[in-house]
Amino acid sequence: MFFDKLEKTILPPTTVMNSSVTDVTDTAVASVSTLVARHRRNSEGLQIIDCVDGNKIITMNDPELYNVANSLQKKAAVQCLNEYAQKIHWKNIGDSAIDLGCGDGSVTVILKKYMPSNYKKLVACDISEKAVKYANEHHSDAATMFRVMDIQGDLPEEMNSAFHHVFSFYALHWIRNQEKAFRNIYNLLEEGGDCLLTFLGYTPIYSVYNVLAQCSKWKSWLKDVNTFISPYHDMQDPEKKVTQMMEEIGFRNIDVKVKEMLFVFDSVEAIKNTVKAIEPFHMPKDVYEEFIQDYYTAAQEIGVIEINNNNIGESSINCKYCLLVVCASK
């Protein structure tokens, strides 16, 4: 099996070899077949989270790559807006909106198409300075601006009750302090304002990180992998948890749904680029190239992706996951 080959330990530059790590036999994983079987049974998923962990900030690696590799996020945003945009209470004159976790800005551009043409302002925020710089250079205009902001930090004073609408697509699952983030969303809204939020729940494809983190070859690089687990990835009835939290904060008209989603990557390279665009471990290029090969092979081994082959030798990859969709008002 593939996992039997994961014997060579690849250490980060800061790792010091000593007697406790020179033995590359992974005693924590006595049986790789048992490990894989456990993951098949549990269907545990890991979620990459953009978060503040003590003094360590993990942000988007490469906005340019993300721009061409985020077709999953863009497609899901269109599906969500097609279904829910009519439920937004647009002012039709002078709407103000904020898009949280905008990344490279490509989904913000999609959002603009669903807003009234005479909206007053659209502010899009992300914790990544690189992403915000890229978005401003490519997507800003007279009524649209991008700025750095951490939604689980303290809000700038001028943003309190400043928006009719709050949007967020594929970002809130990266946040560790969910209650603080949702309180901030509430405080961003003016009285009567509304929000439309989508974020990942159960996501089996990220179980690959958990598997590789338990193999000797990658455990030093992935030692902080638990930092990147979504608060909703293995939660039963996450919609109930989110609804309860929002009720306690003071939201009204709360509607939380869990949607089963399927995305089809049109090539092996496409799924590798998607993983690379949000990979949080900051590996050097030569190490990462070996890692992504092991990642893809492990994903097949534990059955979290389905590969479809056609008659001319081309492959597509099915990826199933769950998306939480939240509508509410203040």
pLDDT in tens, 244-296: 999 999 999 999 999 988 877 778 887 777 777 667 787 888 898 899 899 88
What is the C-alpha to C-alpha distance for residues 149 and 30, in angstroms, rounded to an integer?
44
Q: What is the pLDDT of residues 201-243, one digit of tens each?
A: 987 777 788 889 888 999 899 887 777 778 898 899 999 999 9
CATH topology of domain 49-199+238-293+307-329: Rossmann fold (3.40.50)
pTM over 0.85: no
Pairing of strands 315-329, 306-309: antiparallel
Residue ranges of the domains in the chain? 49-199+238-293+307-329
**Quick one: tokens of 308?**
């479809």
Query: Minimal CA–CA distance to 268: which of 297, 303, 311?
Result: 297
What is the C-alpha to C-alpha distance for residues 320 and 306, in angstroms, rounded to an integer?
9
* Strand ranges inside the chain, DSSP E: 52-53, 56-57, 96-100, 121-126, 144-148, 163-169, 189-200, 252-265, 306-309, 315-329
What is the C-alpha to C-alpha distance for residues 316 and 265, in angstroms, rounded to an integer?
6
Residues with Cβ < 8 Å from 40, sequence gap 6 or more? 302, 303
